[in-house]
Amino acid sequence: MASSPLSPDTLALYDSLAPAEQATLRAALAEDANLRAAFDRWRAVRAAVRADLDAAVPDRHLFVLYALGEDDPALLSGDEAARVAAAKADLDAVVERYPGLRAAVRRVWADRMAFDAAWDELAEASFAEAAMADVQAETPTNSTVSTTSSSDPAVKRRAADRGSLGRATTLRGGARWVWRISAAVAVAAFVAVAISILVRDSGFDTIQTASGVTQVIELADGSTVELAENTTLMVAAADSDRSPRYVRLRAGTALFDVRESSEPFIVETTPARTTVLGTVFTVETTDAQTEVTLLSGAVELVSRVQPGQAVTLAPGQRSEVVGGDAPTAPERVDAQLAASWARYFYFEQTPLSVAAAELSAHYSVAIDVDETLAAETFTSAGSLERAMPVEDLLDLLARSQGARVEAVEGGYRLVP
Amino acid sequence: MSAPRSKSVLDAAFVVRAQNGDEIARSRLLRALEPILRGFFIKRAGHRAEIDDLVQNTLVRVHTGLGDLNDPARLKAFAMKAAFFELQDLYRGRYTARESLFDPDLPGPASPDTTASTGLGLDLDRALSELTDHAREIIELREQGYRYTEIAETLGTTEAAVKMQVKRAFQKLRDLLAVFAVILAGSVTLPNLGAALTGLA
């Protein structure tokens, strides 16, 4: 027998032990034949799983290319795309068979987002620094970056080629976004600075909000997106071929107010895809988990790994995709609460009595509705700002209904 | 100073010059990539010792493969794939190092002899089919070389929850495989196997 009892956990997790625990386990295995037999069987199971996976995916670099191609075929070169195409049927089959490979595909997608983020954050400064080193080395008379780069005929030609192909420089795309975002900032005085406008990538512009900052973006189709703090969204660059109705939410939380159209509006995250026609909803995401809450309209949510199992949400419902699982069944939630970080209240065909209750909770003040008005419904998209004083907001609301506001003891009352 | 140049022009410019034999440009290109790669690997790999190797190996991969990059404007995707290939090589190397710690008595981890020597044979498939998809997902990720923290991150759960699943899988399989081993040793006859398995379920 072993000199000291060994926890079954130690055997189970033999592959993540601290050195001292490893030594203890080795000593116990040397003394106890039964323990050694159980250990060997467990390791054999693990080795068999590994052998199966190695046989299923003999070329892990090709597997990476396959996963990237599933995310965005434009990431592959022609040669890579051909290799993936030749292996795709086999890889589709093994990914279907092994849940761990499906998860590995998702991890590659998340890696891609992380790489994008690192590139967006660091590349411009890093290459500018390299160009500056050129300047200092080649033109001690304090020349400029552009002078140095254009001194190389090959570079000059390449830059000209890119321009003629319609690939606008980041500067142009960035400037356009600055203008748009500046306009939004002027509307919302409480939004200060700290918006990072990032660079173009494969036809996308990336927009990132800093801590404590929310931002409203208007898309080319008239839809709007409000970003919560610490959120990163990729939208089609204005001159790209991509549709404005396809966006990627990398991280954070966003509220989408989608203009109705026959073309679906798609929000893609690492684990999930949300498809809508015209609606208001929030999406909160990490690499592993996406939560969608619907305020109005209808949306369809699918796992990107198991797209066959869609969930359709009704207003006031939420669902989430965790890892590679199918979306959870819709559950009723306080949708206003889910959007409580957003700038506006969103009501659509909402009875005044229900809206009053929401507003009452937000402002912590009693708001009563005359019974002749209680069943009246109204839609408020974008007009009722949470930061407004309660009197102003109620005044707007009442006017839209041909009613008025009375101050009563402890609160307010909407009357005809 | 002139207006700052777009990075997408700058990085492509360095690629073209490096491809044309400008060794200084090649060196500056790699130096410019270094902090980007480091920033990425810090987020995705985490361990300092691993990160240094990953960055260096990726730079070597970019250096040696630069001639194959037909479109200089695609440096980003090129560098990204080089980084991802290095990550996969790291994952693969992790389990080799891990298993060697306990290997004095066993053949190599993926050797067919392993199953034979432990008397498992074909019963392994049956045993594995007893696990939930979630448990298989975790064990399969682990056997691809991911750390438990990375698995938790990928699955949107905690490291403790992931390890709990592994412990449960171990318990379940230990009992099942022990029965198989006894059967093979002749202590339990095959007709009793169903009853034995039912009792363990």
Structure-token pair, residue A205: 């512009």
What is residue B146's predicted lDDT score, i.e. its pLDDT? 93
Q: Are A70 and A95 in contact (CB under 8 A)?
A: no
Interchain pair A169, B9: CB under 8 A? yes
- Coil, strand, or helix at residue A271? coil
Distance, in Å, from the CA atom of A368 to the CA atom of A258, rounded to the nearest integer, reads 31
> Does residue A106 belong to the interface with chain B, where contact is any CB pair within 8 Å?
yes
Chain A contact probe: residue of B30, B118, B187 with most A CBs at under 10 A:
B118
> Does residue A124 belong to the interface with chain B, where contact is any CB pair within 8 Å?
yes
Torsion angle, CA of A293/A320/A198/A186, rounded to 10 degrees?
Answer: 10
Model confidence over B11-29: pLDDT tens digits?
Answer: 787 888 888 888 888 888 9
What is residue B182's predicted lDDT score, i.e. its pLDDT? 58
Closest listed residue to residue B28, CA positions, set B42, B40, B14, B39: B14
Interchain pair B88, A68: CB under 8 A? no
Q: Are A203 and A241 in contact (CB under 8 A)?
A: yes
Structure-token pair, residue A253: 């939380």
Residues from chain A contacting residue B154 (CB–CB below 8 Å): 103, 106-107, 110, 287-288, 323
- Coil, strand, or helix at residue B140? helix
One-letter amino acid identity for B189?
T
ipTM of the prediction? 0.82
Q: Are A46 and A53 in contact (CB under 8 A)?
A: no
Distance, in Å, from the CA atom of A74 to the CA atom of B74, rounded to the nearest integer, reads 10
Residue A166, classified by CB atoms within 10 Å of its CB into exposed (0-12), middle (13-18) or buried (19+), is: exposed
Residue with tokens 């030609």: A157
A19 Rama class: left (phi>0) / alpha (psi -120 to 50) / beta: alpha
**Among chain B residues, CA nearest to A24:** B102
Residues from chain A contacting residue B117 (CB–CB below 8 Å): 40, 44
What is residue A23's predicted lDDT score, i.e. its pLDDT? 84
> Does residue A399 belong to the interface with chain B, where contact is any CB pair within 8 Å?
no
What is residue B183's predicted lDDT score, i.e. its pLDDT? 57
B172 or A178, higher pLDDT: B172
Distance, in Å, from the CA atom of A202 to the CA atom of A112, rounded to the nearest integer, reads 13
Interchain pair A68, B6: CB under 8 A? no
Model confidence over B29-50: pLDDT tens digits?
Answer: 999 999 999 999 998 886 787 8
Write the CA distances from B119 to A41, B99, B108, integer angstroms: 8, 20, 16
Residues from chain B contacting residue A166 (CB–CB below 8 Å): none
Q: Calculate how close chain B gets to A329, using CA atoms only, in Å.
A: 18
Interchain pair A99, B109: CB under 8 A? no
**What DSSP designation does A344 have?**
B
Torsion angle, CA of A50/A55/A58/A64, rounded to 10 degrees?
Answer: -60
**Among chain A residues, CA nearest to B109:** A47
**Helix segments in A139-259, DSSP class H:** 145-150, 153-164, 170-187
One-letter amino acid identity for B81?
K
**What DSSP designation does A383 have?**
T
Phi then psi dihedrals of residue A314, to 5 deg: -105, 165
Mean pLDDT of chain B: 76
Distance, in Å, from the CA atom of A184 to the CA atom of A190, rounded to the nearest integer, reads 11
Q: How many other CB atoms are there within 10 angstroms of residue A375's CB atom?
A: 11
A99-138 helix and A78-97 helix, angle to the nearest 10 degrees: 150
- Coil, strand, or helix at residue A414? strand
B61 or B98, higher pLDDT: B61
What is the interface size between A and B, counted as CB pairs within 8 Å?
280
**Among chain B residues, CA nearest to A74:** B77
**Helix segments in A139-265, DSSP class H:** 145-150, 153-164, 170-187
> Does residue A139 belong to the interface with chain B, where contact is any CB pair within 8 Å?
no
Q: Are A328 and A296 in contact (CB under 8 A)?
A: no
Distance, in Å, from the CA atom of B145 to the CA atom of B90, rounded to the nearest integer, reads 8
Residues from chain B contacting residue A232 (CB–CB below 8 Å): none
Interchain pair B9, A47: CB under 8 A? no
Q: Calculate how close chain B gets to A269, using CA atoms only, in Å.
A: 13
For A39-67, b/e burial (b = at least 16 CB within 10 A) is bbbbbbbbbbbbbbbeebbeebbbbbbbb
What is residue B103's predicted lDDT score, i.e. its pLDDT? 59
With a cut of 70, say whether residue B108 has pLDDT above it. Answer: no
A403 Rama class: left (phi>0) / alpha (psi -120 to 50) / beta: beta
What is the band of B81 on the pLDDT scale with cuts at 50, 70, 90? very high
Positions of E strands within A215-316: 215-218, 224-227, 232-236, 246-257, 265-268, 272-276, 280-285, 289-296, 299-303, 311-313
Torsion angle, CA of A43/A47/A49/A55, rounded to 10 degrees?
Answer: 180
Q: List per-block mean pLDDT (blocks of 10 residues) for chain A, which spans 416 residues.
A: 61 84 85 84 86 93 96 91 96 94 94 90 84 61 31 33 28 26 26 33 76 85 88 83 85 86 84 79 83 84 83 87 87 79 77 86 89 81 76 83 86 91
